[in-house]
Amino acid sequence: MNILFASSEVAPFAKTGGLGDVGAALPRALATAGHDVRVVLPMYSRVHAAGRTFTEVVPELWLQLGDVKVRTSVYEGALPGTKVPVYFVRCPGLYDRPSLYGSGGDEHLRFAVLNWVALELCQRLRFAPDVIHCNDWQTALIPLLLRARFSWDRLFSGTRTVLTIHNLGHQGTFPASVMPQTGLADSWYLFHQDELRAGRLGFLMTGLLYANAITTVSPTYAREIQTREQGVGLDHVLRQRADVLTGILNGIDEDEWNPATDKHLPANFSAEALAGKEACKRALCESARLPYRREVPVFSLVARLVWQKGIDLVQSVLPNLLRHHRFQLVVLGKGEHKYEEFFRLLQRAFPQKVHYDARFSEPRAHLVEAGSDVFLMPSRYEPCGLNQMYSLRYGTVPVVHKTGGLADTVWQYQPATGRGTGFVFDHFDEAGLSWAIRRALDVWGSGAAEYRARWEALQRAGMQLPLGWKHRVGRYVEVYERARAR
């Protein structure tokens, strides 16, 4: 199949979270499965700031969106280690900013441009996609654009659209007055009329109405988002489209995240040979200036520090637990000021036990995953979550809230049978998280030999799970094929 994959994030070029990982790994897996897949994303300043060079393939492409005339051009590179073409939409006025999102009040325009250029690019290249795979609100206008503005072109006669929801919390909802700058003012009647009457225009909402198929990143999340409680105002649309909505668990990139070959680690390890993990723990403690003790478990947390990730629960339970139990905590993450401040204070209060690093650092994330014993992921909601899967792969036992993809990837550990891969709490409250952390500490025990054997069996159970994209990519191909047959 010819597949155009449109995304606002593609690692390593541009990533703020899991979307960036998926934006690289899924196209890579599709290419390995023999499809002609091409990727399109904006050329943010960080893309070219890294000293990479690209070939110009479209020198000049003008768009008139309402009263705004935008000049763009397109450059081509490749996904590292592959021949998968990556097209970068260059438009310095819109994309040359320090952060990927949210600085300038023109988000609707920035991503409307991406949607338009994705389709015009296909025309310039004479690339006839069987499927355009859109991701989140930033590329969710493509299904409507295709129908309202590009359907005259026979190039697209066989094109179907698939829209993946990576996080329903981000919907790209703007005042209805931005409509001219989407370039779709003539097609105003095709937008959701109740929304327009309420003065809103939602990119994601529009995509959900017109995509030929909708996917989201775990089966549990696919069910949750159809409920009023977790539908973030879009549950009614999702229920209407339930017949084309599928939950497909994300995979992990097993080349990037493989403890046996990971280049960011001081020592490698695997389920069969765990010794290297201890060397990683020592290195992590040293780099965090925490005393290293084999028998003291190191907990970790790597996340965007935002409300979704349940940091407020961590804030409520950790000081007390740190006071009364023997464990250490390493945190890597940036986000809301109040959470960053909390971890700074926690480190000050427990200098021998807590280390906080307020950076976004890919190499550091690998070392933290490898060198810690228990990973905290108490998300309030979690569409899929990748970090708990990286943890499983790295023998770092996850503590998770039973929600979304966390519920689909981590199974409650049962000491009596030895089954399970982590510690799962059902109710999102202090008692729940605190219970799960204490369970982890109990199973870790004194760190003596008999406890250690049990812990290693638990680690191995997680490390041996089939988590790679090669186990998932077939499900996407099924969705593409069903969309084409429709």
Contact residues: ligand ADP, CB under 6 A: 17-19, 21, 302-304, 332-334, 360-362, 365, 384-387
Least Cβ distance, residue 402 to ligand ADP (angstroms): 16
Could you tell me where the DSSP H helices lie in 33-106? 45-49, 92-95
| Six-digit token string for 483 | 């969309």
Query: What is the DSSP secondary-structure string of 165-196?
Result: ES-TT---EEEGGGGGGGT-GGGGGGS-HHHH
Least Cβ distance, residue 221 to ligand ADP (angstroms): 11
* Nearest residue (CB) to ligand ADP, 72 versus 138: 138
Least Cβ distance, residue 303 to ligand ADP (angstroms): 5
Least Cβ distance, residue 325 to ligand ADP (angstroms): 25
User: Strands across the sheet with 160-165, in order?
Assistant: 55-65, 68-78, 85-90, 36-42, 2-6, 131-135, 160-165, 213-216, 245-247
In Å, how far are 215, 301, 387, 426, 430 from 434, measured between CA atoms?
Answer: 34, 15, 20, 12, 6
Contacts of 376 (CB under 8 A, 6+ apart): 299, 300, 301, 314, 398, 399, 437
Maximum C-alpha span of the chain = 72
* Nearest residue (CB) to ligand ADP, 142 versus 365: 365
Neighbours of 141 (CB within 10 A): 29
Least Cβ distance, residue 86 to ligand ADP (angstroms): 19
Least Cβ distance, residue 257 to ligand ADP (angstroms): 8
* Nearest residue (CB) to ligand ADP, 17 versus 180: 17
* Nearest residue (CB) to ligand ADP, 122 versus 467: 467
User: Strands across the sheet with 374-377, in order?
Assistant: 354-357, 328-332, 298-302, 374-377, 397-401, 423-425
Please, what is the Cα angle at 227 between 211 and 309, to 5 degrees? Answer: 90
| Six-digit token string for 145 | 């654009």
Residue type, 411: W
Least Cβ distance, residue 187 to ligand ADP (angstroms): 32
Question: Which residue is associated with the tokens 């993809």?
Answer: 405
* Nearest residue (CB) to ligand ADP, 7 versus 159: 7
* Nearest residue (CB) to ligand ADP, 143 versus 398: 398
Least Cβ distance, residue 386 to ligand ADP (angstroms): 4
For the chain, the straight-line distance linking the first and the last C-alpha, in angstroms and rounded, comes to 16
Phi, psi of 402 (to 5 degrees): -75, 85
Least Cβ distance, residue 266 to ligand ADP (angstroms): 18
Least Cβ distance, residue 217 to ligand ADP (angstroms): 8
Helix (H, G, I), strand (E, B) or coil at 214: strand
Q: Express the helix, strand and coil content of the chain in percent, nearest 5 each.
A: 45, 20, 35
* Nearest residue (CB) to ligand ADP, 94 versus 346: 346
* Nearest residue (CB) to ligand ADP, 116 versus 381: 381
* Nearest residue (CB) to ligand ADP, 360 versus 428: 360
Closest CA to 382 of 218, 271, 199, 248: 218
| Six-digit token string for 423 | 């510690």
* Nearest residue (CB) to ligand ADP, 312 versus 481: 312
